[in-house]
């Protein structure tokens, strides 16, 4: 009757966007990311004034910039979290084409800022590192290719993804940027593992890596010296690593106190690669443990949420993003505590850096978007099995 | 187009037969396979995601644990660590043949500056210039205010200087501990010790490298960490070395010589008990070699005993006599024509005195007749002489363990003619070092076996190959004894009561740099053996340009210069060597028996 009188009520096909967004995102991960950013600003207040002073700028110049870029990054991140996986995939593929073109064009239009490696585009007010933006969109494209290969009569996606990866790694190694190359290769490995790499291949690859390491160690003096230097329990106190190790020791459990740290005055990379040493010195083990816990929460929660995910693309892309996010943090902190040989790698959301922050925002946004709770067709499964059963 | 097999074929064929839709069956089948595949992939992915989550969790825990370990470890002053090879600070001691210390290590400090940490560079520079008068305040200040982050100021400082620098209170001035090489005996045996300098330097350690002498020749052995606790034992005897140096220095002054060298060698083993060269230096503060406008052989760094290559004059005559005896050409009493001069082309061979028409072989040596020796050499022949001198070691550098020795190649005549044979027989035309002479005398007089000179104790030394027969050796010793003991001998000043000294003088005119010889500059050498009845030691004393005025007459011959110095050395060191003087017993004491 009612319908006859008033007409059919406009049926709400979906929930309202924001409430559904709020209901489905992983609020724990989002909180962790926000906290990490806040810690990054806190540490920036401690670590960046020496750099600003060296460059003759206002003491909190870099903090202000970080806040500005952080604001941008969060807009991008929250916008990304609201997208559907299909949307992320489409934009991701487009973004990949743009980032790839940017990397290819780097040798012609890029600048090295006097650091010996052509990795940046100078935009005047800021610089832009295409390889940072490459990471999230690369994961999306590889996940797309791999999931396509899981269709019957689908394209040979795994082979294509490997070829694409090697091309990108080749371009990155040309810059040269071995850190990002290694990260890209690691991301591919994780996704390939998840997409069903045979265990024998994994064990074989590990054996080859170990064997190659030994061969290099025996034959290359440079390599052997770096490994020896890493394995040696004594660290040359005049290197960055020496300063960082000493700073962590000085900090102890509760730190030497806000603003009392010394390491930021000696380390040129105190605000980026060795920010964890500043954190350990000024705020002690307590803050460091909090930071580690935050990263671990984001990564492990993402993995656990993705276990329930049925869409191969979402599963692969989410895993790749979480793994790269986690491993970047692990490498950064592992270097500072001498678990890993020295390699420059920023701490996501905490280290200073404009383009890196926005790129990390995009990656985190994608990760949140992929780990949103969504219907997983369990009922259909049940019905299907009943029907067949 | 690739053809895909129709599956499941049985149902499709059946459907075809009954007019059903095979495509629907195929689609349904495909759908089912797809679902199965997805389920399989999902199950696998679930497991692997759990593995990944666990791995990442473990990795984060590892980093956390490691952070905790680092934080809880006590912050210590970071210790120095040089990547690659650790600097080995250890250097073995050097001791003499009785184990007395000749070189050791001593902890000291190097002073360095870190200008970025300096509070008052101007004050620090002024104070440093006051503490170290050789530093200049302006230069220091320029360095302290310059762009350098690190600079060495002094390689080693004394404890007093360290305290004074410490009292400046400047945090940018720092000390690096390091070991210095210390020669507690100062200039004693300076040329043997050589000296050491710093090689690779780090803040906390510095490598010591031998620059000369035994320190350089045995650098690898001394700096081998595995043998650092094992001192290097030399054949030198510190007491005897000091006595020889003291007497030699006194003799050099008295004889107005500008340089002197002495070698005391064990006649049987070739072990060098003492090796002295004057003027000398202090290896603790080794002077830097003068490079220009200076004859390097006049430098205190020059080891005259080993590096100095001189014509050694009449000391060579005994070789000609011994060879003639060994070849059976003569016996000690064979008369030799000494009527001179011998004319050979435009050369004339003369004697210092006219010894008449004939002398015995013994007297040729005792009176040092050039003509007589030249006649002997003519009988011996060039090839035989050369072969004999080669066996005595005169054609090669000595094998002594000093880096300088490799440069002491004897100067041989380019054409070993008959004239050369004759001049070489009395020590002209062949230049060799005093050490060559000591080695040859030892080989000839110890009973006739070749010795190799050595500075390092390596245990018992086996006798070398035979050079001359025991008999020839004994006859040669007897002749040398006559040189000292006989009334006509040239070395009568060498008589030391109780020790039968035998030896041969040699006075060679010094060659001019541009050819020819000086009239008034000589190298005076006395080569001796004692005691001659039981040869134990060889002593060579060489004085450079000695001149002594006796009865208003300038004397330069070795008999008046080198011989008294050598005699004084023997008088001093023979008791130290443990030689018992042979005093002729005045007969049994007369005992008078008295009885009350």
Residue A8: pLDDT band by 50, 70, 90 thresholds?
low
Predicted pLDDT at A365: 94
- In B, minimum Cα distance to A241 occurs at B78
How far is Cα of residue A298 from the mean position of the Cα atoms in its chain?
A: 11
For residue B84, what pLDDT is reported? 37
Question: What is the Cα–Cα distance from A298 to A322, expressed in whole angstroms?
Answer: 8
Return the pLDDT at A112. Answer: 72
Rounded to whole angstroms, the Cα distance separating B442 from B453 reads 9
The shortest CB-CB distance from B64 to any of A236, A289, A300 is to A289
Window 292-351 of A, Cβ < 8 Å to B:
292-293, 295-296, 299-300, 303-304, 306-307, 310, 312, 315, 319, 323, 326-327, 330, 333-334, 337-339
Per-residue pLDDT tens over the stretch B32-84: 888 888 888 888 888 899 999 999 999 999 999 988 888 887 655 444 444 33
d(C-alpha B72, C-alpha B235), whole Å:
56
Distance CA B330, CA B192 (A): 42
Given this model, what pLDDT does residue A31 score? 94
How far is Cα A218 from Cα A230, in angstroms, rounded to an integer?
16
Of B330, B331, B348, B332, the residue nearest B340 (C-alpha):
B348
The verdict on residue A379 lying in a domain is no
Write out the H or E segment, with its range, that includes residue A57: none
| Topology annotation, domain B240-287+295-576 | Beta-lactamase (3.40.710)
Classify strands B310-311 and B431-432 as parallel, antiparallel or unpaired.
Answer: antiparallel
Given a cut of 50, whether residue B466 has pLDDT beyond it is yes
pLDDT at residue B345 is higher than 70: yes
Is there a domain that residue A389 lies in?
A: no
Could you tell me what percent of chain B has a pLDDT over 90?
Answer: 13
Q: Is the pLDDT of residue A276 over 90?
A: no
- Among A206-210, A217-221, B348-352, top mean pLDDT goes to A206-210
Query: Is A182 a domain residue?
Result: yes
- For the four alpha carbons of A14, A17, A19 and A22, in that order, the dihedral sign comes to positive
- Considering only the beta carbons, identify the residue of A225, A235, A250 that sits closest to B75: A250
Measure the CA–CA gap between B119 and B122, rounded to whole angstroms. 9
Which residues in chain B have Cβ-Cβ distances shorter than 8 Å to A389? none
- In a domain, residue A10? The reply is no
Average pLDDT estimate for A214-227: 71
Instruction: For residue A111, give the DSSP letter.
Output: B
> Whole-angstrom Cα distance, residue A389 to residue B482?
132
Q: Measured between alpha carbons, how far is B6 from B9 in angstroms, rounded to an integer?
A: 5
Residue B395 has pLDDT above 50, yes or no: yes
Non-local (6+) Cβ contacts of B300 within 8 A are B279, B280, B281, B287
Which of A146-160, A256-270, B262-276, B439-453 bottoms out in mean pLDDT, i.e. has the lowest?
Answer: A256-270
Chain A residues whose CB is inside 8 A of the B71 CB are 248-249, 251-253, 280, 284-285, 288
User: Residue B195's pLDDT is what?
Assistant: 85
pLDDT of residue A81: 92
Mean pLDDT of B6-22: 79
pLDDT (tens digit per residue) in A91-126? 999 999 999 999 888 888 877 766 667 777 877 777
Contact B63 A333 (CB under 8 A): yes
The answer to whether residues B438 and B394 touch, using CB atoms and an 8 Å cutoff, is no
DSSP-assigned beta bridge partners for residue A120: A111
Closest CA to B97 of B240, B214, B229, B221: B240
How high is the pLDDT of residue A79? 92
According to the model, what pLDDT value does residue A179 have?
80
ipTM field: 0.89
> What integer pLDDT is reported at residue B364 of this predicted model?
87
CA distance A354 to chain B (A): 26
Contact A282, A261 (CB under 8 A): yes
Residue B66 to residue A323, Cβ atoms within 8 A? no
A94, burial (CB in 10 Å: exposed 0-12, middle 13-18, buried 19+) = exposed
Q: Are B567 and B276 in contact (CB under 8 A)?
A: no
Cα of A12 vs its chain's centroid, Å: 37
User: pLDDT at residue B522 above 70?
Assistant: yes
**With a CB-CB cutoff of 8 Å, which residues 195-254 of chain A face chain B?**
195-196, 225, 228-229, 232, 234-237, 242, 245-246, 248-253
Least confident of A9-23, B344-358, B394-408: A9-23
How far apart, in Å, are the Cα atoms of A66 and each of A74, A295, A362? 12, 20, 16
pLDDT at B519: 81
B585 pLDDT above the threshold of 70: no
Query: What is the average pLDDT score of chain B?
Result: 84
A360 found inside a domain: yes
Choice among B223, B274, B277, B314 that is catalytic: B314
Residues of chain A in contact with residue B27, where contact means CB-CB under 8 angstroms, are none
Does B135 or A380 have the greater pLDDT score?
A: B135
pLDDT value for A12: 59
Question: How many angstroms separate the CA atoms of B98 and B590, rounded?
Answer: 43
Known catalytic membership, residue B417: no
Q: Which of A150, A249, A323 sits opposite B37 (nearest CB)?
A: A150
Tokens of B274: 């003492």
Judge whether residue B553 has pLDDT over 70.
yes
Percent of the residues in chain A that have a pLDDT greater than 70, as a whole number: 88
pLDDT at A311 over 60: yes
CATH assignment of B94-127+151-233, given 3.90.1310.10, 3.20.20.70, 3.30.420.280, 3.30.300.30? Answer: 3.90.1310.10
Q: What is the reported pLDDT for A369?
A: 93
Q: Which of A152, A196, A232 sits opposite B81 (nearest CB)?
A: A232
The two tokens of residue B194 are 């050589």
Domain boundaries, chain B: 94-127+151-233, 240-287+295-576
Strand, helix or coil for residue B292: coil
Average pLDDT over residues A57-71: 87
What is the domain count for chain A?
1
Average pLDDT over residues B93-104: 88
Instruction: Give the model's confidence band at A11: pLDDT under 50 very low, under 70 low, under 90 confident, else very high.
Output: low
Any B CB within 8 A of A262 CB: no
Q: B172-216, pLDDT tens digit by residue? A: 888 888 888 889 888 898 888 888 888 777 767 777 888 888 888
Q: Write out the residue range of the structural domain in which residue A301 sits.
A: 17-374
Q: Is the peptide bond before B8 cis (omega within 30 degrees of 0)?
A: yes
Smallest Cα distance from A255 to chain B, Å:
9
Residue B85 has pLDDT above 70, yes or no: no
- Asked if A237's CB is within 8 angstroms of B78's CB, the reply is yes
Q: Confidence band (pLDDT; 50, 70, 90) for A389?
A: very low
């Amino acid at each position: 009757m009612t319908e006859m009188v008033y007409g059919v009520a406009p049926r709400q096909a979906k929930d309202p966007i924001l409430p559904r967004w709020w209901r489905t995102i992983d609020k724990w991960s989002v909180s962790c990311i926000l906290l990490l950013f806040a810690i990054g600003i806190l540490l920036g207040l401690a670590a960046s004034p020496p750099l600003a002073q060296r460059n003759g700028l206002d003491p909190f110049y870099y903090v202000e910039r970080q806040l500005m870029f952080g604001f941008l990054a969060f807009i991008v991140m929250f916008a990304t979290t609201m997208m559907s996986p299909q949307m992320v995939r489409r934009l991701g593929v487009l973004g990949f084409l743009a980032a790839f073109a940017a990397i290819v064009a780097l040798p012609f239009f890029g600048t090295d800022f006097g650091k010996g490696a052509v990795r940046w585009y100078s935009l005047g007010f800021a610089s832009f590192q295409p390889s940072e933006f490459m990471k999230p969109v690369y994961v999306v494209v590889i996940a797309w290719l791999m999931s396509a290969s899981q269709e019957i009569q689908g394209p040979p996606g795994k082979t294509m993804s490997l070829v694409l990866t090697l091309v990108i790694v080749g371009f990155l190694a040309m810059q040269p940027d071995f850190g990002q190359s290694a990260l890209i290769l690691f991301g591919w490995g994780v996704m390939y593992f998840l997409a069903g790499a045979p265990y024998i291949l994994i064990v074989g690859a590990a054996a080859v890596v170990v064997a190659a390491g030994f061969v290099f160690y025996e034959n290359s003096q440079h390599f052997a010296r770096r490994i020896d230097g890493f394995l040696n329990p004594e660290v040359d106190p005049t290197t960055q690593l020496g300063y960082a190790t000493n700073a962590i020791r000085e900090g102890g459990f509760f730190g030497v106190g806000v603003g009392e740290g010394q390491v930021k005055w000696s380390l040129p990379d105190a605000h980026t690669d060795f920010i964890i040493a500043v954190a350990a010195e000024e705020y002690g083990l307590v803050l460091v443990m909090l930071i580690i816990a935050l990263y671990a929460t984001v990564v492990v929660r993402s993995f656990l949420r993705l276990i329930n995910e049925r869409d191969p693309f979402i599963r692969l892309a989410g895993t790749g993003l979480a793994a790269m996010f986690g491993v970047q943090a692990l490498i950064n902190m592992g270097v500072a505590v001498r678990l890993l040989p020295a390699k420059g790698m920023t701490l996501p959301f905490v280290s200073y850096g404009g383009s890196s922050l926005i790129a990390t925002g995009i990656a985190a946004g994608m990760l949140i978007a992929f780990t949103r709770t969504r219907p997983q067709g369990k009922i259909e499964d049940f019905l299907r099995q009943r029907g067949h059963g | 187009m690739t053809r895909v097999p129709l599956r499941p074929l049985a149902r499709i064929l059946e459907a075809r037969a009954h007019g059903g839709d095979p495509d629907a069956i195929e689609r349904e089948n495909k759908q089912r396979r797809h679902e199965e595949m997805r389920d399989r992939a999902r199950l696998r992915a679930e497991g692997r995601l759990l593995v990944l989550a666990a791995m990442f969790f473990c990795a984060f825990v590892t980093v956390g644990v490691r952070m905790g370990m680092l934080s809880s470890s006590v912050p210590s002053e970071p210790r120095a660590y040089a990547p690659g090879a650790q600097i080995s600070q250890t250097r073995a001691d050097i001791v003499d043949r009785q184990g007395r210390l000749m070189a050791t290590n001593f902890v000291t400090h190097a002073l360095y500056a870190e200008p970025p940490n300096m509070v008052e560079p101007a004050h620090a520079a002024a104070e440093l210039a006051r503490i170290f008068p050789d530093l200049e305040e302006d230069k220091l200040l320029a360095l302290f205010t310059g762009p350098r982050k690190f600079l060495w100021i002094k390689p080693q400082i004394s404890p007093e200087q360290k305290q004074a620098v410490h009292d400046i209170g400047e945090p940018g001035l720092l000390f690096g501990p390091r070991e210095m090489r210390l020669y507690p005996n100062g200039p004693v045996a300076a040329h043997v010790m050589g000296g050491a300098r710093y090689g690779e330097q780090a803040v906390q350690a510095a490598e010591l490298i031998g620059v000369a002498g035994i320190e350089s020749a045995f650098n690898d052995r001394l700096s081998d960490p595995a043998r650092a606790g094992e001192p290097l034992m030399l054949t030198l005897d510190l007491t005897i070395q000091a006595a020889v140096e003291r007497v030699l220095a006194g003799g050099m002054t008295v004889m107005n010589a500008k340089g002197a060298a002495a070698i005391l060698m064990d006649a049987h083993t070739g072990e060098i008990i003492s090796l002295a060269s004057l003027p000398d230096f202090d290896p603790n503060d080794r002077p830097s070699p003068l490079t220009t406008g200076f004859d390097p052989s006049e430098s205190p760094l020059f080891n005259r005993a080993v590096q100095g290559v001189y014509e050694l004059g009449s000391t060579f005559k005994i070789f000609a006599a011994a060879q003639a005896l060994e070849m059976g050409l003569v016996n000690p009493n064979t008369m030799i024509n000494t009527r001179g001069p011998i004319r050979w082309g435009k050369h004339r061979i003369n004697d210092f005195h006219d010894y008449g028409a004939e002398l015995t072989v013994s007297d040729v040596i005792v009176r040092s007749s050039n003509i007589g020796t030249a006649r002997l050499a003519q009988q011996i022949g060039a090839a035989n002489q050369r072969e004999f001198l080669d066996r005595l070691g005169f054609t090669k550098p000595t094998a002594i363990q000093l880096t300088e020795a490799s440069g002491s190649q004897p100067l041989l005549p380019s054409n070993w003619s008959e004239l050369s044979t004759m001049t070489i027989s009395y020590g002209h035309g062949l230049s060799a070092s005093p050490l060559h002479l000591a080695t040859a005398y030892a080989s000839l007089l110890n009973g006739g076996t070749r010795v190799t000179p050595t500075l390092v104790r390596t245990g018992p030394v086996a006798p070398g190959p035979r050079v001359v027969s025991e008999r020839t050796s004994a006859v040669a010793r007897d002749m040398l004894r006559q040189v000292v003991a006989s009334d006509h001998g040239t070395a009568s000043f060498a008589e030391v009561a109780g020790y039968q000294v035998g030896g041969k003088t040699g006075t060679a005119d010094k060659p001019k740099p541009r050819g020819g010889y000086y009239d008034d500059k000589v190298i005076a050498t006395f080569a001796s053996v004692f005691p001659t009845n039981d040869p134990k030691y060889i002593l060579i004393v060489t004085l450079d340009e000695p001149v002594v005025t006796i009865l208003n007459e300038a004397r330069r011959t070795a008999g008046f210069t080198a011989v008294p110095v050598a005699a004084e050395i023997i008088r001093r060191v023979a008791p130290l060597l443990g030689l018992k003087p042979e005093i002729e017993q005045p007969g049994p004491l007369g005992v008078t028996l008295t009885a009350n």
